[in-house]
A and B are shown apart, each in its own frame.
Chain A
Amino acid sequence: MSIILLIEQALNGLQFGVMLFLMAAGLTLIFGVMGLINLAHGSLYMVGAFAAAATAAATGSFLLALVASLVFAAFAGVIVETVVIRRLYDRDHLDQVLATFALVLMFSEGTRWAFGSFPLFLDKPEWLSGTVMLPFGIEYSLYRLTIILVGLAVAAGLFWMIARTRIGIRIRAGENDREMIAALGVNISMLYTLVFALGAALAGFAGALIGAIQSVQVGMGEPVLILAFVVIVIGGIGSIKGAFVGAILVGMTDTLGRQLLPMFFGLFMEPAAATSTGASLASMAIYLLMAGVLLFRPKGLFGGA
Chain B
Amino acid sequence: MKFKSLVMAASMAAMAAAGAVQAEGVKVGMITTLSGGGAGLGIDVRDGFMLAVNQAGRSDLEVVIEDDQRKPDIAVQLADKMIQSEKVDVMTGIIWSNLAMAVVPAATAQGKIYLSPNAGPSPLAGKGCHQNYFNVAWQNDNLHEAAGAYANGDGLKNSFILAPNYPAGKDALTGYKRFYEGDLAGEVYTKLGQTDYAAEIAQIRASGADSVYFFLPGGMGISFLKQYADSGVDLPVVGPAFSFDQGILQAVGDAALGVKNTSQWNKDIDNAANAAFVASFQEAYGRLPSLYASQGFDTANLLISAMDKADIKDGDAFRAALKAAEFDSVRGDFKFGANNHPIQNIYVREVIKEGDVYTNKIIATGLTDHADAYAADCKM
Contacts and interface: CB of A to CB of B under 8 A. Distances in A.
A12 interface: yes
Given A118-B247, A118-B251, A214-B222, A220 B230 contact: no
Closest 4 CB pairs of A and B: A215-B222, A119-B251, A12-B198, A131-B232
Interface string B181-194: 00000011111010
A215 B199 contact: no
Contacts of B39: 112, 117, 218
Contact of B219 (A12, A123, A214): A214
A219 B253 CA distance: 21
B165 A283 contact: yes
Given A119-B222, A213-B230, 11 more contacts: A1-B206, A9-B198, A118-B247, A119-B247, A121-B252, A121-B253, A123-B253, A213-B223, A214-B195, A215-B251, A275-B188
B280 interface: no
A217 B202 contact: no
Interface of A: 1-2, 4-5, 8-9, 12, 15-16, 108-109, 112, 117-121, 123-124, 129-131, 139, 141, 143-144, 210, 212-220, 223, 255, 258-259, 262, 271-272, 275-276, 279-280, 282-283
B37 A219 contact: yes
Contact of A214 (B165, B188, B226, B247): B226
B305 interface: no
A218 B36 contact: yes
B223 A214 contact: yes
Contacts of B248: 118-119
Interface string B227-257: 1001110000000000000011011111100
B131 interface: no
A23 to B, nearest CB: 13
Given A12-B198, A144-B198, A214-B219, A272 B206 contact: no
Contact of B251 (A216, A218, A219): A216
22 contacts: A5-B206, A109-B35, A112-B39, A117-B40, A118-B250, A119-B219, A130-B230, A130-B232, A141-B198, A141-B227, A214-B222, A214-B226, A215-B219, A217-B37, A217-B219, A218-B36, A219-B36, A219-B37, A258-B199, A276-B170, A276-B189, A283-B165
Interface string B247-279: 110111111000000000000000000000000
Interface of B: 34-37, 39-40, 43, 165, 170, 187-191, 193, 195-196, 198-200, 202-203, 205-206, 219, 222-223, 226-227, 230-232, 247-248, 250-255
A97 B316 CA distance: 53
B82 to A, nearest CB: 23
Nearest to B230: A141
A255 B43 CA distance: 34
Contacts of B187: 271-272, 275
A121 B251 contact: yes
